[in-house]
């Protein structure tokens, strides 16, 4: 009988034991959960940092590549825009290389029959005054396009701006084969705008986390060895004519990107700088 009483007394926890054990269990569980959360946050932050590093350097590499394939810097787009390629994605409002809010890098380059980096690409000329089959077709004006790097909604974007009729049949001529050709480059528009006849692709988002103009800083230099930036080229207080005149005398651009994002409660920053020079 006494043995049964002892067995009954040993079943379960006493109130005192519960008051001691339960907080310890809760504390252990809390520590475990906190550790898991911290580890998860560290992993997310590390991945986010790696992605940001890649995006910043990829953007700089793209800019450097485009500059080396371009013929000059522009104060504004070199031809009338076709909606929806304007700055507000609906009208033909022009891009401007410098404003009080932010700066845009606007490059002028020629259209090609293939990727500009390909050895098989040829320059595309307009089909007038000489027809594509004419031996003098390369005396026509080449088809010009603009590449624009600009800020919108806290991100750096790349847009390809094309002439209004770049997609028309027979508009372009291959300078080597002397035949009609399509243009390799395609006009791009904001991703919210459905791809259509004119805009055949979407703008490329390059870097998130650029909250102000200092996040995308542009400086122009007369030559690669210059240490002092041009005072007019990127000064929004100057007229577009003055800025363009100054840009014609510059060969080199310096680009700095500063991006900051918050991931898993952690602030992550990354910056990078390049200097790129137009081809001779």
With beta carbons less than 8 A apart as the criterion, state whether 84 and 199 touch.
Answer: yes
- Point out which residues pair with 267 in neighbouring strands: 262
Q: Which two tokens stand for residue 171?
A: 């508009």
Q: Which of 13-17, 164-168, 250-254 has the lowest mean pLDDT?
A: 13-17
> Cβ contacts of residue 62 below 8 Å, gap of 6+?
158, 206
- pLDDT at residue 44 greater than cutoff 70: no
- pLDDT at residue 32 greater than cutoff 80: no
Is 238 or 16 the better-scoring residue by pLDDT?
238
Residue 186: closest CA among 204, 201, 174, 165: 201
The band of 45, judged by pLDDT with boundaries at 50, 70 and 90, is: low
With beta carbons less than 8 A apart as the criterion, state whether 131 and 171 touch.
Answer: no
Domain ranges of the chain: 43-277
Is 170 or 200 the better-scoring residue by pLDDT?
200
Residue 43: closest CA among 53, 35, 32: 35
What pLDDT does residue 76 have? 96
22, 35, 47, 279 from 32: Cα distances, Å: 15, 5, 23, 59
| 186-235 pLDDT tens trace | 999 999 998 988 999 999 999 999 977 789 999 999 999 999 999 999 99
| 7-28 pLDDT tens trace | 455 566 676 666 677 677 777 7
């Amino acid at each position: 009988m006494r043995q049964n009483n002892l067995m009954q007394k040993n079943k379960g926890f006493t109130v005192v034991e519960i008051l001691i054990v339960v907080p310890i269990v809760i504390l252990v569980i809390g520590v475990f959960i906190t550790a898991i959360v911290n580890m998860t946050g560290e992993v997310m932050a590390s991945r986010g940092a790696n992605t940001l590093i890649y995006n910043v350097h990829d953007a700089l590499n793209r800019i450097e590549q485009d500059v080396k394939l371009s013929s000059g810097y522009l104060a504004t787009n070199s031809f009338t825009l076709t909606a929806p390629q304007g700055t507000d994605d609906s009208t033909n409002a022009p891009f401007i290389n410098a404003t009080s809010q932010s700066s845009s890098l606007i490059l002028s380059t020629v259209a090609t029959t293939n990727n500009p980096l390909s050895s098989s690409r040829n320059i595309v000329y307009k089909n007038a005054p000489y027809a594509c089959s004419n031996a003098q077709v390369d005396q026509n004006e080449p088809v010009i396009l603009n590449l624009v790097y600009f800020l919108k909604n806290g991100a750096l974007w790349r847009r390809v701006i094309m002439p209004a009729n770049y997609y028309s049949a027979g508009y372009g001529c291959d300078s080597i084969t002397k035949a009609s050709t399509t243009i390799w480059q395609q006009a791009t528009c904001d991703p919210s705008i459905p791809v259509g006849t004119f805009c055949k692709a979407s703008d490329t988002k390059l870097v998130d986390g650029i909250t102000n103009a200092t996040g995308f800083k542009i400086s122009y230099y007369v030559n690669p060895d210059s240490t002092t930036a041009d005072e007019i080229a990127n000064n929004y207080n100057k007229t577009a004519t003055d800025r363009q005149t100054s840009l014609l005398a510059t060969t080199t651009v310096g680009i700095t990107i500063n991006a900051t994002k918050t991931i898993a409660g952690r602030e992550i920053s990354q910056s990078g700088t390049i200097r790129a020079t137009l081809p001779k």
